[in-house]
């Protein structure tokens, strides 16, 4: 039997006898829970609290609220009785073995976004080690999970919680958008394609409109920047636009004459290809947006068009260097 003090009281232990200052009130030990019952299995997740006792208390409240007439667990500040704990990994072991770090990180992010409370690296890794303790490669699995956590922090999807100490983390706004938006992964991958520096002509309007999700404007502005750069570098008249401008600027050399941006030292077929490359870019990606509304519903495609414009602008810079060298 277990017991508890009733406290300071004037209740007599024997009817008719003198009052007692303290009385020991017996209480029965809770019966053990049948392991086959669903209530017998309390799952301990990852990074839900700083101390295991807090998680036990939370589990106790959930168990009591779901079964008000049965006490499936007994939890006190000093002891835990009749609990069957099972650690659930945030990412399955087989996926940790097979997937690259990026994909593991996105699975981990989805798990962390659904975890209440603040997040802790140490608690997550310790719980993972418990979950994988029967695996033959426990250390490797925990290391893969650690790599994924660091990947999330490096991409600002997991960030520090400013109201807590340095040890606590939370899923960032970008991280929550990635998890909640059906197109979140696609948008994230598109932004990753443009994560590096672009040509200065693309860093303003183009990048801004892309991040705002206005892909049509971003792509049109990128190709317009190419058109402006070609006109400035070639010195051709403003009456030439789009495809005709590109053909004139990169006209292959014949009989010692060619376009101002054509490479006289390149083989004839290469000069033709350069002319076609710039003309094709204008015809395929700038002209349609100039004349009608174009629906760029794929952010990855939009990012790659901007990357293509970045490449063309760098080719124009190379042509300008050839011009400068020839003038010396």
Residue 254: φ, ψ to 5° = -140, 130
Q: How much is the pLDDT for 255?
A: 83
Q: Are 225 and 309 in contact (CB under 8 A)?
A: yes
Q: Which residues of 109-148 are buried (b: 16+ CB within 10 A; e: fewer)?
A: bebbbebeebbbbebbbbbbbbbbeebeebeebbebbebb
| Strand 84-87 to 119-120 pairing | unpaired
pLDDT in tens, 265-303: 999 999 999 999 999 999 999 877 766 666 777 899 999
Does the model's pTM come out above 0.75?
no
Q: How much is the pLDDT for 325?
A: 87
Residue 288: φ, ψ to 5° = -55, -45
Domain 93-180 falls in which CATH fold? Sec63 N-terminal domain-like fold (1.10.3380)
Burial class for 316, CB neighbours closer than 10 Å (0-12, 13-18, 19+): buried
pLDDT along the chain (328 residues), means of 10: 43 49 48 50 42 42 42 43 71 96 95 92 94 95 97 95 94 93 88 93 94 92 96 93 95 91 93 96 84 75 96 96 85
Q: Domain 190-327 - what CATH class?
A: mainly alpha
Q: How much is the pLDDT for 28?
A: 53
Q: How much is the pLDDT for 32?
A: 54
| CB-based contacts of 290, cutoff 8 Å, min separation 6 | 220, 242
Domain segments of the chain as ranges: 93-180, 190-327
Q: How much is the pLDDT for 326?
A: 82
| CB-based contacts of 29, cutoff 8 Å, min separation 6 | 1, 2
């Amino acid at each position: 039997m277990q017991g508890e003090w009733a406290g300071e009281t004037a209740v007599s232990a024997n009817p008719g006898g003198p009052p007692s200052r303290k009385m020991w009130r017996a209480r029965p030990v809770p019966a053990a829970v049948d392991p086959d019952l669903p209530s017998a299995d309390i799952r301990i997740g990852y990074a839900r609290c700083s101390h295991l006792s807090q998680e036990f208390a939370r589990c106790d409240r959930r168990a009591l609220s779901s079964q008000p007439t049965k006490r499936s667990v007994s939890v006190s500040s000093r002891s835990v009785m009749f609990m069957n704990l099972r650690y659930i990994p945030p990412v399955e072991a087989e996926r940790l073995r097979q997937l690259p770090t990026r994909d593991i990180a996105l699975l981990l992010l989805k798990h962390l976004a659904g975890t209440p409370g603040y997040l802790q690296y140490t608690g997550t890794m310790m719980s993972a080690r418990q979950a994988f303790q029967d695996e033959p490669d426990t250390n490797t699995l925990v290391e893969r999970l650690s790599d994924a956590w660091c990947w999330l922090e490096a991409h600002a999807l997991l960030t520090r919680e400013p109201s807590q100490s340095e040890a606590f983390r939370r899923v960032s706004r970008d991280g929550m958008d990635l998890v909640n938006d059906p197109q979140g992964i696609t948008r994230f991958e598109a932004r990753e394609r443009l994560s590096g520096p672009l040509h200065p002509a693309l860093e303003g309007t183009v990048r801004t409109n892309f991040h705002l999700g206005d892909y049509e404007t971003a792509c049109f502005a990128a190709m317009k920047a190419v058109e402006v750069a070609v006109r400035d570098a070639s010195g051709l008249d403003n009456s030439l636009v789009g495809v005709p401008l590109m053909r004139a600027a990169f006209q292959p050399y014949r009989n010692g004459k060619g376009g101002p941006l054509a490479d006289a030292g390149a083989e004839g077929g290469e000069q033709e290809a350069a002319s076609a490359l710039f003309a094709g870019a204008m015809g395929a990606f700038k002209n349609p947006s100039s004349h009608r509304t174009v629906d760029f519903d794929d952010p990855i495609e939009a990012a790659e068009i901007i990357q293509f414009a970045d490449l063309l602008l760098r080719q124009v810079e190379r042509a300008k260097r050839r011009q400068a060298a020839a003038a010396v």
